[in-house]
């Protein structure tokens, strides 16, 4: 196994395939096979977000994948933003179609076309919908397993419509809270930044992105919350009659998260022995390994089975390894696959009416009495998750550097995120990107900077965050 921090990409590619998360030998670049173990983790992950959306009144829908070109083209910035990435269908294997159909890179245009038909009165608002779908983007940058793909297999996009600007802004705050809870439950620490104007989502007024730092020191976007203002409402002519009988354009927001989050969390929590899953999304939470001694086979296996049945009936995702591999191989294998807890049962454990529990995150082993096992496992699970989060948080914090003076090139950190005092003007932001050789991630409008903008020398309004980026 490669070193996670020094050879991150090699480590990442190796572990994803070895641990049966994905197979990237599929012969279309940027398209992956999700294997059962990886897909299970992905589903557990996305289900957390779906539950959070349902709890806040979002309803699930399904809109078509195929978009007529003329509808896609209605919002000009959107068309321009996505044109290079959007696949076009012109026919079948045996026939030309009479018009071009596009594969959705995201669903604003198909949804908003219908919203125009659905909405009559402010009483029909708000609309809060989401869908869990595949979307397609012809990425021209280097593709990377899970993190940057051409078919996004698992995209959860929410779209909302409101009668007033204030309601839309309130919705942005709700969406940010939902995503906070989501990433918190994956034990991924993050910072939330407003995208600078020159990088705003196509067709949007502004957007907030969640970022974290990968083991190679590059920032990665986890999810995006977008205030569309009235731009799409105007492009798609979506108006409602208000209480005062006037007709007004509606206000819209959208927000999305993809399977990328699971690529990120595997990267962040893993170590040089392989993956480490937080317990809530681990496809297998506990693996039982029989430690067989000659003459004791029957009592050991029988205890393994009874512990297995007990844990299963308690709702744990538990697996018992009855293959004929050696005990050492089994340890190595399940550690690599990231199973958070292992239970060893040998003659000692049988005799003492106990089991040995090994933590994947720390390697610690403890003997636990059978009757205390369930409560101890629950306690250990919480502790593992807390530990994963604290390690990750420490990593993120150690990778955010404040940089007041940019004149000394040698003091500009190569890795991680730098925050630089900024006057707030586009031209200075773009110049900061150029001089630091990093991309602007955004700024926090509520975080006031001290000092001066290093480009123009004016008083700094805020901090601009910059980093090499995925």
Q: Residues in the chain, how many?
A: 470
CA distance 1 to 377: 29
Residue 272's SS3 state is coil
443 binds a second copy (CB under 8 A): no
Decide: 86 and 138 in contact? Cβ < 8 Å: yes
Nearest to 138 by CA among 124, 149, 123, 147: 149
Cβ contacts of 321-329, under 8 Å, gap ≥ 24? 321/287, 321/288, 321/289, 321/290, 322/290, 327/289, 327/291, 327/292
- Which residue, 36 or 315, has its beta carbon nearer to a second copy? 36
How many Å apart are CA 173 and CA 321, to the nearest integer?
A: 46
CA distance 216 to 12: 11
Among 3, 9, 51, 62, contact with a second copy (rule: CB under 8 A): 62
What's the min distance (Å) between Cβ of 369 and a second copy?
A: 34
Pick the binder of a second copy from 11, 78, 113, 182 (CB under 8 A): 113
CB of 262 to a second copy, least distance (A): 12
Closest CB to a second copy among residues 19, 129: 129
User: Could you tell me the smallest distance in angstroms from the CB atom of residue 280 to a second copy?
Assistant: 19
Neighbours of 244 (CB within 10 A): 7
Stretch that binds a second copy, among 133-141, 225-233, 241-249, 391-399 (CB under 8 A): 133-141
Query: Does a cis peptide bond (omega within 30 degrees of 0) precede residue 126?
Result: yes
User: Is 48 near a second copy (CB under 8 A)?
Assistant: no
Are the CB atoms for 249 and 268 separated by under 8 Å?
Answer: no
Measured CA to CA, the distance from residue 46 to residue 53 in angstroms comes to 11
Out of 2, 18, 35, 312, which residue is the one contacting a second copy (CB under 8 A)?
Answer: 35
* Contact call for residue 25 and a second copy (CB under 8 A): yes
| Total binding residues toward a second copy, as defined by CB under 8 A | 58
Cβ distance to a second copy smaller for residue 53 or 388: 53
Nearest to 370 by CA among 304, 298, 320, 321: 304
- Does 317 bind a second copy (CB under 8 A)? Our answer is no
Give the nearest distance from C-beta 232 to a second copy in angstroms.
Answer: 17
Q: Does 61 bind a second copy (CB under 8 A)?
A: yes
Q: In the stretch 87-106, what mask flags binding to a second copy with x, by CB under 8 A?
A: xxxxxxxxx-----xxx---
60 binding a second copy? (CB under 8 A): yes
Q: Residue 151, interface with a second copy (CB under 8 A)?
A: yes
Residues contacting 105, CB < 8 A, separation 6+? 82, 85, 86, 135, 136, 137
Q: Which is nearer to a second copy, 47 or 402 (CB)?
A: 47
Kindly tell me which residue out of 10, 59, 309, 427 binds a second copy, with binding defined by CB under 8 A. Answer: 59
Window of 29-37, 352-360, 430-438, 448-456 that interacts with a second copy by CB under 8 A: 29-37
Least distance from C-beta 260 to a second copy, angstroms?
15
Q: How far is the CB of 153 from a second copy (least distance, A)?
A: 5
Contact of 432 with 455, CB cutoff 8 Å = yes
Binding site for a second copy (CB under 8 A): 23, 25-28, 31-36, 39-40, 42-43, 59-69, 71, 82-95, 101-103, 110, 113-114, 117-118, 129, 133-134, 136, 138, 150-151, 153-154
């Amino acid at each position: 196994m490669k070193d996670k921090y020094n050879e991150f990409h090699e480590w990442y590619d190796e572990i994803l395939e070895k641990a049966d998360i994905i197979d990237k030998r599929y012969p279309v670049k940027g398209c992956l096979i999700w294997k059962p173990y990886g897909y299970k983790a992905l589903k557990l992950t996305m289900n957390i977000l779906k539950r959070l959306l349902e709890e806040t009144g979002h309803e699930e829908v399904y809109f078509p994948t195929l978009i007529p070109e003329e509808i896609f083209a209605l919002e000009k910035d959107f068309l321009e933003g996505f044109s290079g990435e959007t696949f076009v269908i012109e026919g079948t294997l045996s026939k030309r179609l009479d018009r071009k159909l596009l594969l959705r890179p995201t669903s604003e245009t198909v949804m908003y076309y219908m919203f125009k038909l659905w909405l009559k009165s402010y009483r029909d608002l708000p609309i809060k919908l989401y869908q869990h779908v595949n979307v397609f983007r012809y990425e021209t940058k280097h593709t990377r397993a899970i993190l940057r793909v051409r078919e996004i297999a698992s995209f959860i996009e929410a779209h909302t419509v409101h009668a007033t600007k204030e309601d839309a802004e309130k919705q942005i705050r709700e969406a940010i809270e939902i995503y906070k809870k989501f990433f918190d439950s994956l034990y991924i620490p993050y910072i939330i930044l407003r995208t600078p104007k020159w990088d705003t989502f196509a067709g949007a007024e502004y957007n907030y992105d969640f970022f974290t730092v990968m083991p190679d020191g590059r920032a990665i976007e986890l999810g995006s919350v977008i205030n569309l203002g009235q731009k799409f409402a105007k492009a798609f002519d979506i108006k409602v009659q208000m209480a005062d009988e006037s007709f007004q354009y509606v206000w819209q927001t959208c927000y999305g998260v993809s399977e990328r989050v699971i690529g990120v969390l595997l990267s962040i929590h893993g170590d040089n022995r392989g993956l480490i899953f937080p317990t809530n999304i681990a496809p297998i939470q506990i693996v039982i390994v029989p430690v067989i001694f000659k003459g004791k086979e029957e009592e050991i296996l029988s205890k393994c089975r009874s512990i297995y049945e007990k844990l299963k009936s308690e709702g744990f995702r538990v697996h018992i390894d009855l293959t004929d591999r050696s005990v050492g191989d089994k340890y190595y294998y399940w550690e690599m696959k990231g199973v958070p807890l292992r239970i060893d049962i040998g003659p000692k454990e049988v005799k003492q009416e106990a089991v040995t529990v090994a933590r994947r995150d720390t390697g610690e082993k403890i003997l636990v009495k059978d009757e205390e096992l369930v409560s101890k496992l629950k306690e250990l699970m919480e502790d593992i998750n807390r530990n994963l989060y604290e390690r990750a948080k420490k990593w993120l914090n150690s990778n955010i550097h404040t940089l007041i003076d940019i004149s000394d090139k040698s003091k500009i950190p190569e890795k991680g995120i730098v925050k630089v005092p900024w006057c707030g003007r586009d031209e200075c932001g773009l110049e900061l990107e150029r001089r630091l050789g990093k991309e602007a991630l955004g700024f926090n409008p509520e975080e006031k900077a001290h000092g001066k903008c290093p480009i123009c020398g004016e008083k700094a309004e805020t901090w601009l965050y910059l980093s090499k980026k995925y």
